[in-house]
Amino acid sequence: MGKSKIFFLFLFNVYMTDFVFAQDYPHVQYGPLLRQYLDIYIAPSACPTPVYFDAHGNGGTTSMPSSIVDSLKSHGISIVAWESLTTISSQTDMQTGWADAELMFSWVKAHAATYNFDTTNFIIGGSSRGTILSWKYGQRPNPNNKGLYMYNALPLVWGDSTFWWPPNDVKVTAPPIFFLYLKAPGCSTLPTSDPNFNIHDPNNGYKIMAKYNSLGIGNRATLIHSLDTTNNLDKYQFLVDFALSVITPCPTTGFNSIIDDNSRLKVFPNPFSNQLTFTLSDNEQTTVSLYDILGLQVLQQTFTNSTTINTDQLGEGIYFYQLREDKGTIKNGKVLKK
């Protein structure tokens, strides 16, 4: 990669950090114990933002892929990735995790104004261990819990129904659920020597689906399995669509018609739908480049004074523009397609 390209990528990354995303807060304590912390990613928004809660699987961390963080934030959804016991292996561990969950959700509600959270729009999610710790709070009758998105949900919790039987938590008021599993049903009953043996059996999720159906709310439940037979193993691949199906975030902040300090540049409308117009008072040849959230160029056009770009082929979300004149002036900005 040449020096000029490296320099551009550096500028682009700095620009994204400084001008697009609101402040993020890693390792915030929600309780007095070292394990009781969370990472907060805040979506820029003109109003309080819905929140997606993520709890990792056994042995994992609160770290989340930047791709899903950026995607959720671009749609006006903030994220809380929370920690408790890193691994659970007993009923005592579960009870400790449930207590941490209660404390964590209470802390988030108490500090909602600080982080611009909308406490009436929660989506509760996680993987494996995280689904166990999140389940009870997520299924509690509460209109503010809009949905549950869970990967490899509820493993190894079915042996002692006198301690806990997850379907019993499901009431007729239960929120929509989206279960996603890596393996096919029956994988936990295979010999442990079988390469397809896995404790995360979709049949666990089907027990919950059956309860939803018995209550007449089966239309709120979705289960997809055998992810390992596809070309996409991303456990978050359905999260944004699911989230937007159960909540309606308000528009992100900073998205309005742009006029620079000396009124030389106008970019409108913003947010835009099918067309985006750039006008520049200089009689200079100017090249405008449009980039998606990952920094990939999606459009480029050269103009003098004014141009209107057709954006029918672009999906919804945040885009970045860069303007270059022949004399080398660079102007950067952000726009939102709805």
pLDDT at residue 263 in the model = 55
Residue at 251 is within a domain: no
Q: Do 237 and 308 have their domain in common?
A: no
Q: Do 213 and 240 have their domain in common?
A: yes
Q: Which of 267, 273, 231, 236 is nearest to 251 (CA)?
A: 273
pLDDT at residue 106 in the model = 98
Query: Does the model's pTM come out above 0.95?
Result: no
Domain closes at, from 195, 226, 246: 246
Backbone angles phi, psi at 195, to 5 degrees: -60, -20
pLDDT at residue 22 in the model = 46
| CATH number for the domain that contains residue 317 | 2.60.40.3080
Q: Take residue 165 and report the two structure tokens written for it.
A: 């039987």
Q: Do 166 and 272 have their domain in common?
A: no
| CATH number for the domain that contains residue 160 | 3.40.50.1820
Residue with tokens 């596809």: 230
Residue at 252 is within a domain: no
Q: Do 141 and 171 have their domain in common?
A: yes
Q: Do 202 and 276 have their domain in common?
A: no
Q: 83: domain range?
A: 3-246
> Which of the residues in the chain have pLDDT under 50?
1-22, 261-262
Q: Do 22 and 159 have their domain in common?
A: yes
Helices (H), the chain: 3-19, 66-74, 91-110, 112-115, 129-139, 202-214, 239-246
Q: Do 171 and 296 have their domain in common?
A: no
With beta carbons less than 8 A apart as the criterion, state whether 228 and 182 touch: yes
Backbone angles phi, psi at 185, to 5 degrees: -55, 140
Write the burial class of residue 85 (CB in 10 Å: 0-12 exposed, 13-18 middle, 19+ buried).
Answer: middle
Domain closes at, from 188, 222, 246: 246
Q: Do 133 and 238 have their domain in common?
A: yes
Per the structure, how many domains does the chain have? Answer: 2
pLDDT at residue 89 in the model = 95
Using only the alpha carbons of the chain, give its radius of gyration.
Answer: 23
Q: Do 150 and 38 have their domain in common?
A: yes
Residue at 139 is within a domain: yes
Q: Do 86 and 135 have their domain in common?
A: yes
Residue at 253 is within a domain: no
CA 109, 103, 167, 192 dihedral sign is positive
